[in-house]
Structure 1
Amino acid sequence: MTYVGPSASAPERQGPGSTERARVVDVVAAYVGLTKPRVIELLLLTTVPVMFFAARGIPPFWLVVATVVGGTLSAGSASVLNCVYDRDIDEQMRRTRRRALPRHLVSPRAALVFGLVLGVTSTVVLAVWVNWLSAALALLANAFYVLVYTMVLKRRTTQNIVWGGLAGCFPALIGWTAVTGELAWAPVVLFAVVFFWTPPHTWALALRYREDYREVDVPMLPVVAPAAEVGRQIVLYSWVMVATSLLLWPVADTGWFYPAAAALLGGIFLVEAHRMWGRARGTETLSAIAPMRLFHSSNLYLSLLFVSVALDPLLTR
């Protein structure tokens, strides 16, 4: 007897209900994509560990939840509003043309309303369940990213990401103030670490996509300078970043674990930065320079550095 069943290659019949569900899923995915979840993950990774460090142990669970929710909504709001303003160049760049607005999955007006609602909601969440200082810092970071970086700096200066990157430094301050209710030198040092980390991280990515930026007239450093100069600048910022990370030891009177981790991670990152600079001095070919190696290394460096910030009080108290 021969079994006759549905063929693997035969199209499945879908009723109106399944088609509608698929559309809803697509729309939800489009809105979530506008918030740039991967960027949010990195921002939260510089928020939560600082809360552990500020508490010198484990912070209250619901305080962490409220801070994470408020921070996620704030970062998502900034990303959505960035997508709305940059939709013209996003449509032309290979790296961004699959976003919801270039694909017309979400209208600019709907995205604008969505971004503003997220911003207002984040401010309310942080103000009510965390504190007003953390809420104000998150709102300031959001406004700086959208109004200063996106609308003023990004398309006008090669220093766009240097100063525009300030917005991404605020999570360290927000995590600290969520626990203590006040600012101190320790979170300022971590703020500075992220500030000096941002150019090497972003320029490595921009070097990989420099033709995209050139086509849309965004003057990222890799567009206007040879790869060797980009590599040199990356090395300079990397040295300052590592030196700044070690300042946390005397400033915050950490235990032995953090400085040991910071020195090890910094040394590894500096080796990778120097290697990329060496490759860039010999060629302009991206495949030979391999800038994405440094980009991925920078993500790992920052993640592990802030994990060590959280672990230090747990291991050495």
Structure 2
Amino acid sequence: MDPELASAVPPVHDAAEDRQQRRSLSVSRKKFSGSRPGAVRSNKERPLAYIDNSAEASIASGGTRVEDYLALLKPRVMSLVVFCALVGILVAPGSINPFIGFIAIVCIAIGAGASGALNMWYDADIDRIMSRTQNRPIPAGRATPGDALALGLVLSAFSVMLLTLATNWVAGGFLAFTIFFYAVIYTMWLKRSTPQNIVIGGAAGAFPPMVGWAAVTGTVTWESFALFLIIFLWTPPHFWALALYKQGDYGAAGVPMMPNVAGEKSTKCQIFAYTLALAIAAFLPNILGFSSWIYGIVALATGAGFLWFAVKLLVSPEGADMKRAARSLFTYSLSYLFVLFLALLVDNFALRLGVI
């Protein structure tokens, strides 16, 4: 037959055969579905539950990505630490070779990142509980605690040794102490044992300007201590404001933050007290003579703004209004330290150039 004609002729079916096939298909469907009342399905017939183990499978297959390792270093926290250390280097008296200064900043950044990795290693259990930390690499299943521990230890040793060789033993020793203080004193001891965890542990985040200053001068002075004190006093109102509107997270994780232990009223009073102390301490660079009126004006304006938010929080009623006020203060505090230290840097450059 002509192929074109054959293709135009519809196929011929055996009707009896078709009926038999349909009957067999119907019977097999009934057996599979277990439609009879009380029918018990065999293990082979039961539907399988789907369990998503993609995160674990990703790790098991070596799926930790570069961005996950970077996330272990807490880059957002690191950025503020690096900036404050940079200000310490540039404001310190004397000079430093630009390349050596760059190495010093890199070492401080790596050291800060190492501290963050060690913190994530130790806090992996509570990070799984708190909403703001659940997407970190370890609780999200994108990295293992072993990854964070190894990364933290290797980077700690590398940053301390390189900074010591590039600058001096004072800066290297200060960086080593900073990493130890944050990873051991704060993370492993204070954080879960006392509501004063942030106050004492805040020293770790306040050391970087002193490390930068020491990298240039090889000494620790009252001027560098003034920069330390500003960050030290900034830490409690910053983190307690966060804790006020994240009480549920910290309570569920068993972290004794001040609002969970002393209550909201006491915490608000302490935030105001620390903010007042911070606004006064911000004038220490003027008092000690390493800044001028440019920095002084910025310190006055930013300190007044911080106090306004603290007062607003202090008088806010409990509930949603208090949480909004706490969140506003926390948001303001994020930019406060950057603006203040940037003003100190600009002021110092103006003094050195003879503009003022």
Both structures adopt the same fold (TM-score exceeding 0.5): yes
Is 1:168 paired with 2:201? no
Aligned to 2:319: 284
2:290/2:348 contact within 8 Å kept: no
**Alignment counterpart, residue 305 of structure 1, candidates 312, 336, 340:** 340
Helix, strand or coil for the counterpart of 2:307? helix
Q: What is the deviation of 1:63?
A: 2.8
Helix, strand or coil for the counterpart of 2:92? helix
Aligned to 1:76: 113
Moved over 6 A (4+): none
2:240/2:258 contact within 8 Å kept: yes
1:262/1:305 contact within 8 Å kept: yes
Structure having the larger proportion of residues in helix: 1
Residues 28-59 of structure 1, C-alpha deviation per residue, up to 9 Å, x if partnerless? 11111111000001111211112221147x85
Q: Is the deviation greater in 105-114 or in 76-85?
A: 105-114
2:81/2:205 contact within 8 Å kept: yes
CA 69–80 in structure 1, closer or farther in 2 if over 3 Å, else same = same
1:36/1:79 contact within 8 Å kept: yes
> Structure 1 CA distance, aligned partners of 2:325 and 2:241?
9
**Alignment counterpart, residue 34 of structure 1, candidates 42, 53, 72:** 72
The structure showing larger relative contact order (alpha-carbon pairs under 8 Å, at least 6 residues apart) is 1
> Structure 2 CA distance, aligned partners of 1:308 and 1:53?
11
**Alignment counterpart, residue 43 of structure 1, candidates 81, 84, 95:** 81
TM-score by length of 2: 0.78
Aligned positions of 1:84-163 closer than 5 A: 84-163=121-200
> Structure 2 CA distance, aligned partners of 1:123 and 1:211?
38
Q: Is the deviation greater in 161-170 or in 307-316?
A: 307-316
> Structure 2 CA distance, aligned partners of 1:195 and 1:235?
15
Letter paired with 2:106: V
Q: What is the deviation of 1:141?
A: 0.6
> Structure 2 CA distance, aligned partners of 1:142 and 1:90?
20
Q: What is the deviation of 1:254?
A: 2.2
Residues 252-287 of structure 1, C-alpha deviation per residue, up to 9 Å, x if partnerless? 3422222222112111111111112222xx123367
CA 24–85 in structure 1, closer or farther in 2 if over 3 Å, else same = closer
2:191/2:256 contact within 8 Å kept: yes
> Structure 2 CA distance, aligned partners of 1:114 and 1:87?
15
1:63/1:178 contact within 8 Å kept: no
Letter paired with 1:313: N
CA 59–311 in structure 1, closer or farther in 2 if over 3 Å, else same = farther
Q: What is the deviation of 1:185?
A: 0.4
2:237/2:275 contact within 8 Å kept: yes
Letter paired with 1:263: L
Q: What is the deviation of 1:127?
A: 1.0
Aligned to 1:207: 244
Structure exhibiting the larger radius of gyration computed from Cα positions: 2
Aligned to 1:220: 257
Aligned to 1:52: 90
Q: What is the deviation of 1:290?
A: 3.3
Q: What is the deviation of 1:240?
A: 0.5
2:245/2:323 contact within 8 Å kept: no
Count of residue pairs brought into register by the alignment: 293
Q: What is the deviation of 1:26?
A: 5.7
Q: What is the deviation of 1:25?
A: 8.8
2:63/2:142 contact within 8 Å kept: no
Q: What is the deviation of 1:60?
A: 3.7
Unaligned ranges ≥5, structure 1: 1-19
Q: What is the deviation of 1:242?
A: 1.2
2:294/2:347 contact within 8 Å kept: yes
> Structure 1 CA distance, aligned partners of 2:268 and 2:174?
33
Aligned to 1:8: none
Is 1:270 paired with 2:307? yes
CA 65–35 in structure 1, closer or farther in 2 if over 3 Å, else same = same
> Share of identical aligned residues, percent?
35
CA 229–177 in structure 1, closer or farther in 2 if over 3 Å, else same = same
> Structure 1 CA distance, aligned partners of 2:323 and 2:107?
42
CA 286–104 in structure 1, closer or farther in 2 if over 3 Å, else same = farther
Q: What is the deviation of 1:228?
A: 2.7
How big is the alpha-carbon RMSD for the aligned residues of Structure 1 and Structure 2? Answer: 1.9
Residues 162-187 of structure 1, C-alpha deviation per residue, up to 9 Å, x if partnerless? 00111001101011111111111001
Helix, strand or coil for the counterpart of 2:210? helix
> Structure 2 CA distance, aligned partners of 1:270 and 1:262?
12
